[in-house]
């Protein structure tokens, strides 16, 4: 049977970054940059005041008496027309362009000008007790970014603060990777939608709700195909819908085990090919990978925890690769087991709650680890990874964990 590592590498080798598209800045948050961003001009674009105060020549604050005549008033957004001569000052607001001749700004708080409320006009003269040095309270042109500097790199997931930077640089449209498109289906005669009345022997389809959200959370778009009944024709019909929609991946849950009504494997083999359908892991051994009419297919197990773990271990990395993101994989951390953990030797993913003690993450299992138990999954902060071949992890030992 394939190891998790081999299975993931085999799957990943069939996927590439999506193409890029150019979209408005307003809808760029959380998308992945498809090209480096180079500043087209300096920021700040002009020397400007970092304070509300008076633009002066620093050397004049060392003169005696230190009374300067105020020859201009420069609000933010205006272009100064004066050139300061010795012993002259200009009232200036934060962000306003520093006039020629000035080399420092003295904050209004350090002057004798007491009228600081909005609407007051500039005084005729100004004096102060403190001195300033050349450059004080002036934000120099290019201090933040230089023209030609690469300020954001391709593959970066765009954060809110990145949008501010892009706006400051005038990027009304941004090149990003296209979202991957995933067709999602559940399979099984027992499955009801969330709003249907319960019937004897039936259960609600929970996987498609978990998986659709997980797909979107990984930055892809989901096409919900619904539930396929346990028949060749029903499964084929839904797969054909996915092909018609030209998706990047068909993702199913259930129907890939060795049950008498598990038709998915058969349908894949009849219309494409199966690369593998079992992985040496727990939960989630019946995990299938293949291709249906030229479209990559991943078949997750049916049990809700197995489906979830299969998604985290195999599908999230695939969506990460397609997204073009530099950091698409699940985040793993080292945690210390608070209890002895037994395993059957398959690579195991165990639900655990974490707590931090003196900076060390301590893990204890969340109740019953059966692959159908959703409550112990939602109570977990992490999936502990017990490597293949390990049958017992003693209390106090460190293991890797995927943070949820
Ligand atoms: P199967 O792989 O079809 O044998 O399914 C394995 C188990 O997962 C069975 O107990 C199914 O009822 C359950 N199961 C399959 N699909 C879903 C689903 N979409 N939501 C919840 N449970 C499911
Ligand atoms: Mg089934």
Q: Ligand 1: which of 184, 185, 187, 188 to mutate, most ligand atoms within 8 Å of CB? A: 188
Task: Assess whether pLDDT exceeds 70 at residue 404.
Answer: yes
- According to CATH, the topology of domain 4-15+179-323 is Molybdenum Cofactor Biosythetic Enzyme; Chain A (3.40.980)
Coil, strand or helix at 174: strand
pLDDT for position 129:
82
Q: Give the residue from 47, 59, 54, 102 showing the smallest Cα distance to 74.
A: 54
For the chain, what are the domain ranges?
4-15+179-323, 20-41+156-177, 48-139, 332-403
Task: Give, to the nearest 10 degrees, the angle between helix 264-271 and helix 232-244.
Answer: 50
Band the pLDDT of 328: cuts 50, 70, 90: low
Task: Give, to the nearest 10 degrees, the angle between helix 4-12 and helix 316-323.
Answer: 30
Angstrom distance (rounded) from CA 50 to CA 48 = 7
Taking the model in full, what pTM does it have?
0.93
Assess whether the C-beta atom of 370 lies below 6 angstroms from ligand 1: no
> Residues 220-231: what's their mean pLDDT?
97
The CATH code of the domain at 20-41+156-177 is 3.90.105.10
The residue whose CA has the least distance to atom 16 of ligand 1 is: 302
Model confidence pLDDT, tens digit, residues 283-311 = 999 999 999 999 999 999 999 999 999 99
The residue whose CA has the least distance to atom 15 of ligand 1 is: 302
Assess whether the C-beta atom of 378 lies below 6 angstroms from ligand 1: no
Assess whether the C-beta atom of 188 lies below 6 angstroms from ligand 1: yes
Assess whether the C-beta atom of 252 lies below 6 angstroms from ligand 1: no
Assess whether the C-beta atom of 219 lies below 6 angstroms from ligand 1: no
Task: Assess whether pLDDT exceeds 80 at residue 65.
Answer: no
One fold for 20-41+156-177 and 48-139: no
Model confidence pLDDT, tens digit, residues 245-257 = 999 999 999 999 8
Q: In CATH terms, is domain 48-139 a member of 2.170.190.11?
A: yes
Segment holding 183, helix H or strand E: strand 181-187
Band the pLDDT of 374: cuts 50, 70, 90: very high
> Residues 262-283: what's their mean pLDDT?
96
Angle at CA of residue 15, ends 12 and 17, nearest 5°: 120
pLDDT for position 260:
87
Most confident by average pLDDT, 10-24, 63-77, 256-270: 10-24
pLDDT for position 272:
98
Q: Give the residue from 246, 248, 251 showing the smallest Cα distance to 264.
A: 251
Q: Which CATH number fits domain 332-403: 1.10.3720.10, 2.40.340.10, 3.40.50.720, 3.60.110.10?
A: 2.40.340.10
């Amino acid at each position: 049977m394939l190891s998790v590592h081999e299975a993931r590498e085999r799957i990943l080798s069939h996927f590439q970054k999506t193409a890029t598209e150019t979209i408005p800045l307003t809808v760029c948050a959380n998308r992945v940059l498809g090209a480096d961003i180079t500043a087209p001009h300096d920021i700040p674009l002009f020397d400007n005041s970092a304070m509300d105060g008076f633009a002066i020549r620093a050397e004049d604050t060392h003169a005696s008496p230190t009374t300067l005549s105020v020859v201009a008033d420069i609000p933010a957004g205006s272009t100064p027309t004066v050139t300061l001569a010795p012993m002259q000052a200009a009232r200036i607001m934060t962000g306003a362009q520093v006039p020629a001749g000035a080399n420092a700004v003295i904050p209004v708080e350090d002057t004798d000008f007491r009228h600081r409320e909005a609407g007051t006009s500039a005084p005729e003269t100004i004096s102060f007790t403190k001195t300033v040095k050349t450059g004080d309270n002036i934000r120099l042109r290019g201090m933040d970014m230089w023209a030609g500097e690469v300020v954001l790199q391709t593959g970066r997931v765009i954060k809110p603060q990145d949008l501010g930077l892009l706006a400051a640089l005038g990027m009304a449209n941004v090149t990003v990777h296209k979202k991957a498109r995933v067709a999602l289906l559940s399979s099984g005669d027992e499955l009801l939608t969330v709003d249907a009345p319960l019937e004897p022997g039936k259960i609600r389809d929970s996987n498609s709700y978990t998986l659709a959200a997980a797909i979107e959370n990984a930055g892809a778009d989901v096409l919900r195909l619904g539930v396929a009944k346990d028949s060749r024709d029903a499964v084929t019909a839904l797969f054909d819908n996915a092909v018609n929609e030209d998706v990047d991946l068909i993702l199913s849950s259930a129907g890939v085990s060795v049950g008498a009504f598990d038709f998915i494997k058969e349908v894949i083999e009849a219309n494409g090919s199966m690369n593998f359908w079992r992985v040496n892991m727990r939960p989630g051994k019946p995990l299938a990978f293949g291709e249906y009419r030229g479209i990559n297919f991943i078949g997750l197990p049916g049990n809700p925890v197995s489906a979830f773990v299969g998604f985290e271990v195999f599908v999230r990395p695939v969506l990460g690769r397609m997204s073009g993101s530099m950091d698409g994989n699940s985040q793993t951390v080292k945690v210390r087991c608070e209890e002895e953990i037994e395993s059957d030797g398959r690579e195991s993913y165990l639900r655990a709650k974490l707590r931090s003690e003196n900076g060390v993450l301590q893990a204890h299992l969340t109740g019953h680890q059966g692959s159908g138990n959703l409550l112990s999954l939602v109570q977990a902060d992490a999936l502990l990874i017990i490597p293949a071949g390990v049958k017992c992890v003693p209390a106090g030992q460190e293991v890797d964990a995927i943070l949820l």
